[in-house]
Chains A and B, each alone.
Chain A
Amino acid sequence: MSMGPVIAIRVLVLLCLCLASVRLHAGPAGEATESEVKAAFLYNFSKFIEWPETSFQSPASPIVIGVVSDPSFAHTLNTIVAGKTVNGRTILVKTLEPASDLTGCHMVYVPGSYPRLAEFVARAQRASILTVADADEFTRAGGVIRFFLTSGRVRFEINIEAAQRANLRISSKLLAVATLTHSSTRRAGGE
């Protein structure tokens, strides 16, 4: 009679236990899902961005973050910012559809790819909304902040001109750790 399978199962059980219990110097920050890290960044952005006075009705009005077409991310963000305040303001997370009215939002995040970037950016700019997205072309299309990944870590680039056009002031602390970029000038004739 072959004992192989029985041994194999025992080895597996043992391995599961080891995998689950052993903590090998996982670094101070450990690991998290991409969504969680991005959500934490959005929370941080709200600390380092200054909106025009007119963006808020009162000093106690919440900072409203809209998430386009991704209720699952909105849920993650909600968990992260729950109970947190920034300069005395609470944070409110809203789920948006691509065509939704952006009025009332201070920051809008577009996860994944998104086809109508230019139109979206133009709408957001008029309302002094901080736009954040993952799409490759985003900052070149006039978006303010774009997330990207390098060796498994989340990084972001900032288009300062776009921020200025939306009347947003970005803290130098945030600029210090960001990659800086600008809008595409190709259409204006040459790179």
Chain B
Amino acid sequence: MTSDANTGIAAGLSLSERIGRCAVLIVLLFCSCLALAQEQPQDLTQLSLEELMNIEVYGASKYVQSLREAPSAVTIVTAEDIRSYGYRTLADVLRSVRGFYVSNDRNYSYVGVRGFSPPGDYNGRILLLVDGHRLNDNLYDGALIGTEFPVDMDAIDRIEIIRGPSSSLYGTNAFLGVINVITRDPRKSAGLTTSLDAGSFGTYTGHLQWGTRLPYDGSALIDGSFSDSDGRTLFFPEFDDPATNYGVARDADFDQSRTIMAKLKLSHFQFQTLAGTRKKGIPTASFGTMFNDPGTRTIDSQGFFTAKYDRNFGDAGALTATASLNRYRYSGWYVYDNPELASGRVMNRDFGAGDWWGLEAQFRRKLGSRHNVVVGGEYRNNFRQDQKNFDIDPFTLYLDDQRTSVTKALYAQDEIKLASRVMLNLGVRHDTYLHHSTTNPRFGLLISPSDRTTLKLLFGTAFREGNAYEAYYAFGDAQKSNPGLHPETIRTYEVAADHYTRSGIRISASAYAYLIKDLIRQVKDESDGRLVFENVARVRAKGVELEVERKWSAGFEARASYSLQTALEDRTNILLSNSPKHLAKVNGIVPVFRNRLFLAADAQFIGRRAALSGDSVGSATVLNFTALTRELSRHVDIAFTAYNVFDKRYADPAASEHRQLHIPQDGRSFRVKFSYSIGDKSK
């Protein structure tokens, strides 16, 4: 089954054969799980009132029931999961999620899903939301998921990970999936919480949050965090030369971030503001910069302010209206060698400044007993999309590009109850840009043969608009702009099944196929030798995923998933770069002592991936291990995590701005975290 995975090339026929074989395997697995999971149903009517009151219902707390009605395959990661498995960033969270993988070049983290994560892409094919509000910036479409993500992990209530296209609701970037990070609600846990942690590579993080309930169904929350890391001393054999410190990069891997957030809810009004900034040293000498120079670094800052009116008029429907102001800043400092200057070096500055405001309104209403209708509109005004590049001394201006743009969209969705156990979900959205417009539908048929089983048949299209960087960035003789880009599109077909057994086991399986057309990719224009972004590629992919999860009332829980995907260049049938065929995840929590002390393990397997140069990086299994307390005392908790316990040496494929073909990843590292909280945690 893996005989030719090493070559990275596969013929179409044998490939589909193998997918077929794997699909059979998955179905068999699913069935065997189902068969094994069947247990004698208990007769609930024989139980006393008190006994009934002690039954845990997984539909409520453990799995969010409404997810079964979502027209997508959805995963939820809770605050408790984040704490239990020691996740430090959103990237850590995504690594553990079925079908997702993350690569890192020691500057940014790049998320992949369904076999798609081309090196050099800033996550523009994933839509990242915080409390339902778009975070992808208006220059690079960037979704920042590492330490540059502007919300602290301790400020999160839960993360919803929605697979597949959602442009019918969200427009651009909702291409392969949507990640919605929901921050804590002070109405659920008022009071003060704080945490401090220390970890390997001189890493220190602190977090402080205070929340309170207010009259008129109101609440307020203030949240702030810092994180500082010295980073590692790294060795890159590509630079093993006396002129470049024998390949050793020292003090160049630092990482400093700050986040702040405030929320206020009063009656029907909600206000939220957040901001985050992160400074990161680049130890890899990317973009041809000087090796081992701590002066090369990037700073990313982003934030938003939203004012929301949310009101339920009962029979007459429900209305949500939001106004927002958003900001993103990127500032790159790149040190270049210049023997003609006395200093021998020149500082190049690369800037991106994006500002936008937006209005959104959404109206929901039941029509008759069968229809649940949502209609909405969105207006986004990008009043600043500036890119600039220059050398400081001697001053040389390479790029000074200033743009503005406007997007308008209308959408509608109808959830139709066709029969008692059959639901049809139809959605469509029309987006208008300056020179073109695009319409994207989604179709979902949801069948529940029983209370415990849901089958979803899904089809949808999505798009991503070429961004300001792709369209307008130009640099001397090296790179030129292409204002003529049009949106790239994806068409996805999917079947998903969920089954919950009586003993608390959840089994999910899905199979999908997608086709990407007009994929925007950087290519070399042979006529002038310059790099340019063009709508050049087509990608075809298929995959299957299986997940089994079980939660016991005693606090045990375990989850395992496997995904098989094949994402190919359409005409040549070559596997995409940085696209593993196999992913597997296993994690679990075991109570050790009286529901106070727990052990958690989190293992991820990623298969071989092709790298840009035609070679590949090998498969890797990484195991993380956490020992944690829950309510050790009334106020204090401690967690200790060992990451990559077996010190597995592995690497991620590098993008073309690196001389390295592979970027080595961290070996074993540790973190210890203390949390302290005062206040009531009722509900």
Residues of A within 8 A of B (CB): 1-6, 8-9, 11-13, 15-21, 23-37, 39-41, 43-44, 69, 71-72, 75-76, 80-81, 84, 97-98, 115-116, 149-155, 173-174, 177
Contacts and interface: CB of A to CB of B under 8 A. Distances in A.
Contacts of A34: 57, 59-60, 65
Given A20-B36, A31-B503, A152-B60, A116 B314 contact: yes
Contact of A16 (B36, B314, B552): B36
Contact of B2 (A6, A21, A35): A6
Contacts of A116: 314-315
B581 A5 contact: yes
A40 B558 contact: no
B6 interface: yes
Given A2-B607, A12-B29, A149-B57, A19 B44 contact: no
Nearest to A28: B51
B623 to A, nearest CB: 12
Contacts of A23: 503
17 contacts: A1-B2, A2-B618, A11-B584, A11-B586, A12-B562, A21-B36, A26-B503, A32-B44, A33-B500, A39-B44, A43-B45, A71-B420, A84-B45, A115-B315, A115-B366, A154-B53, A177-B53
For chain B, the bracket of interface size reads 35 or more
Given A2-B6, A27-B54, A36-B451, 7 more contacts: A5-B619, A12-B560, A15-B560, A20-B36, A35-B451, A40-B52, A84-B45
Contacts of B60: 34, 149, 152, 154
A155 B366 CA distance: 28
A174 B32 CA distance: 43
B170 to A, nearest CB: 25
Interface of B: 1-3, 5-6, 25, 29, 32-33, 36-37, 42, 44-45, 47, 49-62, 65, 314-315, 366, 369, 420-421, 448, 451-452, 500, 502-505, 546, 548-550, 552-554, 556, 558, 560-562, 581-582, 584, 586, 605, 607-608, 618-619, 621, 683
Residue of A1, A8, A21, A28 contacting most chain B CB atoms (<10 Å)? A8
Q: Is the interface of A mostly helix, strand, loop or mixed?
A: helix
Nearest to A82: B45
B420 A75 contact: yes
A16 B586 CA distance: 11
A41 B52 CA distance: 7
Closest 9 CB pairs of A and B: A71-B420, A152-B61, A20-B36, A40-B44, A8-B584, A34-B59, A5-B582, A115-B314, A4-B619
Contacts of A8: 562, 582, 584, 605
Contact of B619 (A2, A36, A98, A153): A2
Contacts of A5: 1-2, 581-582, 584, 605, 607, 619
A27 to B, nearest CB: 5
Contacts of B54: 27, 29, 153
A5 B621 CA distance: 10
A152 B62 contact: yes
Nearest to B420: A71
Contact of B584 (A12, A18, A41, A115): A12
Given A1-B3, A4-B621, A30 B55 contact: yes
Contacts of A33: 57-59, 451-452, 500
A39 B45 CA distance: 9
B451 to A, nearest CB: 6
Contacts of B65: 34
